[in-house]
Amino acid sequence: METSALAKRLARRFVAGDTLDQALAVGRHVNSEGIAITLDHLGESVTSLEEAAEARDVYLHALSAIHDSGIQGNVSLKLTQFGLDFSYDQCRANVEQLVRRAAGLNNFVRVDMESSQYTQRTIEMVADLHARYGAVGVVIQACLYRSRNDIEELCRRAIRVRLCKGAYLEPASAAFPRKSDVDRNFVELMQFLLDRGAYPAIATHDENIIRRTEAYAAGRGIRRDAFEFQMLYGIRRDLQRRLASEGYRLRLYVPFGKAWYPYYMRRLAERPANVFFIARHLLRQ
Ligand SMILES: Cc1cc2nc3c(=O)[nH]c(=O)nc-3n(C[C@H](O)[C@H](O)[C@H](O)COP(=O)(O)OP(=O)(O)OC[C@H]3O[C@@H](n4cnc5c(N)ncnc54)[C@H](O)[C@@H]3O)c2cc1C
């Protein structure tokens, strides 16, 4: 799939391109609409520590390029791409290099959250690096039962949280099986973060939740620059434009790189209509 020209063309809806230059070009364009970005170099679950070191180098380069080009943006990474499946310590050393560089450039590293088997280690590593450098934050998924406790602890330590619903299939022992419970928990956690979080990021395309966030912030007198909304590149452009034009802070998650397949599949799985869209497109070819 990753080498098929047609599949690549379809994936371009959600992925900026294969190269950092293409991602930076998207970044410039998005910035011109008053929207910031976070760059994600695709390629989770590497198969060796050498690959993890290569991924780290791409990120180091991306941070420098963002700085040099004056783009409003930071980076988001996954710990399995930095070698977590092979060695916690080596992974930590890779992430530390990046966070140190980000701190020196007055920028920021967001550590994405993967499936629940990684949650504890991810939070521990971020907390540890945050205590040394600042410049790093984490993602919490509203689908997990544990998230309320995690958010309370992260807020106590003033670690920045991006709140999302959660993109991984989880067992009922770890996560709410019903979407309505995930949505309810998202709203509760959003309110907690707006009240007590360090510059929280509310990452969703759910219009109802976005409106509830706007209303909650307005009701509590929370300024529009005290938090940000985040969305994925290529999803709900209409909503993105509305928020930006109303003076809300918005950041788009912009993935780039050749290994786009797992990311693309998660985006398709989230919305059956996407699969129909592709089927229609293929039939037209
Ligand atoms: C900036 C950002 C970072 C993220 N980081 C992580 C992370 O680190 N870990 C993690 O597990 N998950 C992450 N996610 C994904 C997240 O967990 C959800 O899987 C994803 O955002 C879809 O949920 P939703 O909140 O948009 O709500 P949903 O209820 O799924 O969707 C609400 C509406 O959004 C639109 N929509 C949502 N998804 C799509 C799609 N794929 N295609 C077209 N329209 C769509 C539809 O209009 C839909 O009705 C991130 C999401 C964002 C926005």
Tens of pLDDT, residue by residue over 41-82, are 998 779 999 999 999 999 999 999 999 999 999 999 999 999
Phi-psi region of 214 (alpha: psi -120 to 50; beta: other; left: phi over 0): alpha
Residue nearest to atom 15 of ligand 1 (CA): 167
Spell out the per-residue pLDDT of the chain, length 285, in tens.
777 787 778 788 899 999 999 999 999 999 999 999 999 999 877 999 999 999 999 999 999 999 999 999 999 999 999 999 999 999 999 999 999 999 999 999 999 999 999 999 999 999 999 999 999 999 999 999 999 999 999 999 999 999 999 999 999 999 999 999 999 999 999 999 999 999 999 999 999 999 999 999 999 999 999 999 999 999 999 999 999 999 999 999 999 998 888 888 888 888 877 777 677 766 665
136's tokens: 């790093």
Angstrom distance (rounded) from CA 243 to CA 228: 10
Beta pairing partners, 77: 111
Question: Quick one: which of 153, 223, 165, 164 has its CA closest to 194?
Answer: 223
Ligand 1 atom showing the smallest separation from residue 253 Cα? 1
What does the DSSP assignment read for 121-149? HHHHHHHHHHHHH--EEEEEETTBTTHHH
The stretches of 144-271 forming alpha helices (DSSP H) are 147-156, 179-196, 207-219, 237-245, 261-270
> Do the Cβ atoms of 198 and 153 come closer than 8 Å?
no
250 lines ligand 1 (CB under 6 A): no
267 lines ligand 1 (CB under 6 A): yes
Angstrom distance (rounded) from CA 258 to CA 267: 16
pLDDT digit string, tens, across residues 237-266 = 999 999 999 999 999 999 999 888 888 888
Residue nearest to atom 43 of ligand 1 (CA): 235
Stated pTM of the model? 0.95
